[in-house]
Amino acid sequence: MIKNINFLNFYAKLIKLFSFINNFKKIYIFILLLILILSAIFEILILGVLFILIKAFMNPDYYSGNFFFKFLIKLFNLNNNSELILLFSFSFIIICFLSGFFRLSYSYFASKFSNYTIKKITNLCYDRIIYQDFNFYFSSNTSSILSIFSQKLGIINNAFFNTINMFYNIIIFFFIFFILSYINFLIIFFSTIFFIILYTLIIFFFKQKIIRNGSTTASEQIVNLRIVRETLNGFKDILINNNQNFYRNNFINSSNKLLGAKNENIFIFSVSRPIIETFLLSSIAFVIIINSNNYASLEKLLPILATIGVAAQRMLPILNQIYTSHANNLDQIKTIKDVNSFIIKSPIFFENKTIKSLTFKESIVMNDVTFFYSSKNSTVLNHINLNIKHGTRIGIIGKSGSGKSTLADLILGIINPNSGEILVDGTTILNKKQSWYKKVANVSQNIFITEQSIAENIAFGIEKKAINLNKVKHVARLAQISDFIENKLEGYNSLIGEKGLKISVGQRQRIAIARALYKNASLIIFDEATSSLDSEVENLILDTIFNLDRKKYTVIIISHKYGNLDRCDNIYKIQNSILSKV
């Protein structure tokens, strides 16, 4: 729960978020300011011309003797005051249309500005995911990250738009205030102060409620996403354990909190208008009542009241929009705080730049490598020494949890040792990870399959138009999956569903092997890649692995079965954090 938050903190964080953007297009700000000034000028002209027209109708001699009006009569060759009134009437209509045009223009460019800004911020947030060190994912909450992209960035887009419009409305409000002050300072001054105080009281009365509801909304969005994600990922277990009611109740409880907080804030956002309208209409009637016994005074007040009435028709929505925008922003304090924290706390480890290839022609050497997770006290791997010659077949065996996969992650370079070093042809991989990643591939038990075609899954991460289909077919034959693919109706363009559910586990493994071959990886690590297969399919996959060209491919096979490793050149066992040759 958020308590006693200074509302200015929101705008400080919004500016901070804005400051993250590099190479900002300043032309947007120039256009917005230009349109704002023009719009303000036409708002003043509307009220000024309207006041003159009403005065003229109430007093036909109003124009007499005025130098400016005499100049207009002479300029347009007008014969009488009626024609001058007609000129002002048409001018008023033109000014109204121009004012509307500039208001629409401001909204258009404000939306363009918000869209440009949020695109930049969205890219910044995604960069904080895609260019991360692997350790980032050990400490990250998936649902929190998903909520940023699925919900919070859209909310911040609205916050930018609301804030820009609020700035516009504040400026227009003061322009209208000054022109009305010229007409009747006391009435305008005291009525404006009264309504500003009224809006301020409403804001302060509901402020903490709005912030608490906003915090609840932000938190429950994450919970909602987590429940839905767990439902989809664990549906099989939920089904066979008859846990539907458990997840349904959790989802309903979270949704009720989320929707309850949202709907309560929607009500609060709408509270101001009926309150203000009630006081506004009552105040006009009150002025008339005071002057009801003095016809001359009332007649004198009518042009002022008519002008103020029209001005109120503009000022009331402006004040209401300022209130609603600010109230919405209070609702999003937790959201903008979360996005700011995500950008600040997730620095980019890798940059998208040209990668110089690291050569692997001789050996991979692990010198006295030790690794432990900072959150755990025990050492996973202790003083590991290993020499892997290019083209060899290395087997790693050990019990579940012994550190086999951790060893693979160290060799791949996705985690760093706490001590010791890993060398490729005598060069450390520590500062050349992106270069080393070009040379390695990992085929695990759980294959990552995208919702794309078979060809796109084999040529993983390559634009469809840039895929070399002949190479795809070649590596598919090497992985012994070409017959299966080519017998499908759409062949290599066949879609294999989310997570590859339209094909068997064995076929997914072969696609992963083909992917590694398409990449031209010099080192391929098979981490329990066949553990979920039946014996017949497992043996066929192992045949494919051991038949790979030794001149091109170095292979590490991790398994808990000795029988899978009997064709390896060397077998190593991990036990009690120690690696020893079998």
pLDDT at position 582: 83
Q: What distance in Å separates the CA atoms of residue 515 and residue 455, rounded to the nearest whole number?
A: 9
Contact indicator for 450, 456 with CB cutoff of 8 Å? yes
pLDDT in tens, 439-463: 888 888 888 888 888 898 898 888 8
pLDDT at position 367: 93
Q: What distance in Å separates the CA atoms of residue 165 and residue 146, rounded to the nearest whole number?
A: 29
pLDDT band at 1 (very low <50, low <70, confident <90, very high): very low
Pull the structure tokens for residue 177: 């205030």
Q: What distance in Å separates the CA atoms of residue 192 and residue 198, rounded to the nearest whole number?
A: 10
Helices 333-345, 153-183: axis angle to 10 degrees equals: 130
pLDDT in tens, 190-202: 777 777 788 778 8
Please tell me which of 32-46, 158-172, 444-458, 466-480 the model is most confident about, judged by mean pLDDT. Answer: 466-480
pLDDT at position 502: 78
Beta strand pairing status for 554-559 and 570-575? unpaired
Beta strand extents in 225-329 (DSSP E only)? none
pLDDT at position 5: 47
Contact indicator for 529, 541 with CB cutoff of 8 Å? yes
Res. 102: pLDDT tops 50 = yes
Query: What integer is the mean pLDDT of 102-125?
Result: 85
Res. 317: pLDDT tops 50 = yes
Strand (E) or helix (H) holding 563: none
Helices 333-345, 185-233: axis angle to 10 degrees equals: 60
pLDDT at position 468: 92
The size of the chain, in residues, is 582
pLDDT in tens, 126-147: 888 877 777 777 667 777 888 8
Instruction: Using CB atoms within 10 Å of the CB of residue 574, give its burial: 0 to 12 exposed, 13 to 18 middle, 19+ buried.
Output: buried
Cα-based torsion angle of the residue sequence 324, 327, 333, 335 in order, rounded to the nearest 10 degrees? -50
Res. 389: pLDDT tops 90 = yes
Res. 529: pLDDT tops 90 = no
Contact indicator for 452, 461 with CB cutoff of 8 Å? no
Beta strand pairing status for 570-575 and 578-581? antiparallel
Pull the structure tokens for residue 543: 């045949």
Pull the structure tokens for residue 138: 């050990």
Query: What integer is the mean pLDDT of 385-407?
Result: 90
Q: Where is average pLDDT lowest: 19-28, 84-93, 165-174?
A: 19-28
pLDDT at position 570: 92
Q: What are phi and psi of 424, to 5 degrees?
A: -120, 115
Measured between alpha carbons, how far is residue 308 from residues 90, 128, 188, 202, 550 in Å?
A: 21, 53, 8, 24, 89
Q: For 363-581, which CATH superfamily applies?
A: P-loop containing nucleotide triphosphate hydrolases (3.40.50.300)
- Edge-to-edge strand list for the sheet holding 393-398: 440-444, 523-527, 554-559, 393-398, 570-575, 578-581
Q: What distance in Å separates the CA atoms of residue 402 and residue 196, rounded to the nearest whole number?
A: 68
pLDDT in tens, 262-290: 788 778 777 777 777 777 667 666 666 66
Contact indicator for 457, 496 with CB cutoff of 8 Å? yes
pLDDT band at 368 (very low <50, low <70, confident <90, very high): very high
Distance of CA 256 to the CA centre of its chain: 24
DSSP state of 416: -
* Mean pLDDT of the residues in the chain: 80
Q: Where are the domains of the chain?
A: 8-345, 363-581
Contact indicator for 394, 388 with CB cutoff of 8 Å? yes
Q: What distance in Å separates the CA atoms of residue 218 and residue 7, rounded to the nearest whole number?
A: 17
Contact indicator for 22, 121 with CB cutoff of 8 Å? no
Instruction: Using CB atoms within 10 Å of the CB of residue 535, give its burial: 0 to 12 exposed, 13 to 18 middle, 19+ buried.
Output: exposed
pLDDT in tens, 227-236: 887 787 777 6
User: In the chain, count of helices (H) and strands (E)?
Assistant: 18, 10
Q: What distance in Å separates the CA atoms of residue 513 and residue 541, rounded to the nearest whole number?
A: 9
pLDDT at position 29: 80
Asked if 8-345 and 363-581 have one fold, the answer is: no
Instruction: Annotate 187-249 with DSSP letters as a single string.
Output: HHHHHHHHHHHHHHHHHHHHHHHHHHHHHHHHHHHHHHHHHHHHHHHTHHHHHHTT-HHHHHH
Q: What distance in Å separates the CA atoms of residue 180 and residue 255, rounded to the nearest whole number?
A: 48
Pull the structure tokens for residue 351: 């940059």
Contact indicator for 159, 7 with CB cutoff of 8 Å? no
Other Cβ atoms within 10 Å of 86 Cβ, number: 12
Q: What distance in Å separates the CA atoms of residue 432 and residue 443, rounded to the nearest whole number?
A: 22
Res. 304: pLDDT tops 80 = no
pLDDT in tens, 50-99: 777 777 666 666 666 666 667 777 777 767 667 777 877 888 889 889 98
Other Cβ atoms within 10 Å of 470 Cβ, number: 7
Which is higher by pLDDT, 74 or 3? 74
**Domain boundaries 8-345, corresponding CATH code:** 1.20.1560.10
pLDDT at position 305: 63
pLDDT at position 292: 57
